[in-house]
Amino acid sequence: MEPTPRFLITRDLPDSAARKLLDGILNLVYPDACALCGAPVARSRECSVCAACWDLVLGLKIGPPCCTCCGLPLPGFDSDPAPLCLDCLDRLPPYAGARSWGHYAESLRGAIHALKFAGRQRMADGLAPLLAQAFLESWRREDFDAIAAVPLHPKRKLERGFNQSELLAVRLGRILGLPLVRALERTRPTPPQVGLGDADRWANVRGAFRCTRPRLVREKRILLVDDVMTTGATVGSATTALLAAGARRVSVLTAARAVL
């Protein structure tokens, strides 16, 4: 016999001591599983990751020095701020600046994969405060007017059921008090960027975005949010579409930074 789903047991109970007691009992009988290691974890944890695995995530935070433009970690540089990276020296990106919270490796990569590919949407609740931390270390809330998320193509969004970047952007907007503008769309279903080199990544997403509601971004200072940044090709193409629609400035924030 299948156990009664937990939400059916608790949905009609008031937020009271009785409900908290029942939640505690249910945590013992039907514990959740950590999205990273599978160990039992209290359902009250906002992102379904055990404390030990979350500590590993927190250990992947990017620190200085980083490229002053794209945020690429530049270990070994002593200057503060660090210089531009070689890619930005060769070709300045269209966005005003980009920052990422952590290294796209190990447990942070696992957390993002759990969000994107395993449907663990609650993972966005844990990652959004990390994005807010990275934001506040680099920018001021009053220097931005709105947040935008890098969109998925409608076909891919239908297959996945959600856009992970939008989940992050919505939660980040609540923390920072910035409105989310849904003004970008993907014009074609681009192949995944995984496995492509730098030049091929830029070619793959060139012209892949357009702004369908220019009035929402015109003269606005936009924070563009995505889950992972590698070469900056995807966020660069999305930035170009926003600037073409009249955005005053676009800066980029991602949960993780991958290095080819």
What CATH number has the domain bearing residue 196?
3.40.50.2020
- Of 223, 234, 149, the closest CA to residue 183 belongs to 149
Work out the burial of residue 157: count CB atoms within 10 Å of its CB; fewer than 13 is exposed, 13-18 middle, 19 or more buried: middle
pLDDT at 248: 98
CB 208 within 8 A of CB 189: no
pLDDT at 27: 55
Is residue 240 one of the residues assigned to a domain?
Answer: yes
Is residue 180 one of the residues assigned to a domain?
Answer: yes
pLDDT at 100: 98
- What's the token pair of residue 185? 């769309």
Is residue 217 one of the residues assigned to a domain?
Answer: yes
pLDDT at 43: 66
List the chain pLDDT tens, one digit each, 260 residues: 444 334 333 334 444 555 556 555 555 556 688 999 999 887 666 788 999 999 999 999 999 889 999 999 998 777 666 688 999 999 899 999 999 999 999 999 999 999 999 999 999 999 999 999 999 999 999 999 999 999 999 998 999 999 999 999 999 999 999 999 999 999 887 766 666 666 667 667 777 899 999 999 999 999 999 999 998 999 999 999 999 999 999 999 999 999 87
At 61, the amino acid letter reads: K
Cα angle at 207 between 203 and 209, to 5 degrees?
125
Q: Give strand ranges (E) for the chain.
A: 32-33, 40-41, 97-103, 146-149, 184-186, 209-211, 221-229, 249-257
How many domains, in total, are found in the chain?
1
pLDDT at 208: 84
pLDDT at 78: 72
pLDDT at 12: 43
pLDDT at 41: 84
CA–CA distance from 200 to each of 123, 193, 194, 195 (Å)?
31, 8, 11, 10
pLDDT at 201: 72
* Tens digits of residue pLDDT in 8-59: 333 344 445 555 565 555 555 566 889 999 998 876 667 889 999 999 999 9
Distance CA 77, CA 64 (A): 9
Is residue 24 one of the residues assigned to a domain?
Answer: no
Neighbours of 140 (CB within 10 A): 8
CB 124 within 8 A of CB 94: no
Q: Check residue 70 and report its DSSP letter.
A: T
Is residue 25 one of the residues assigned to a domain?
Answer: no
pLDDT at 6: 40
Is residue 249 one of the residues assigned to a domain?
Answer: yes
pLDDT at 110: 97
In sequence order, which residues have a C-beta less than 8 Å from that of residue 158 and are 6 or more positions away? none
Cα Rg, the chain, nearest whole Å: 20
> What is the residue range of 171's domain?
62-257
Sign (positive/negative) of CA torsion 48, 51, 56, 60? positive
pLDDT at 193: 64
Is residue 51 one of the residues assigned to a domain?
Answer: no
Is residue 29 one of the residues assigned to a domain?
Answer: no
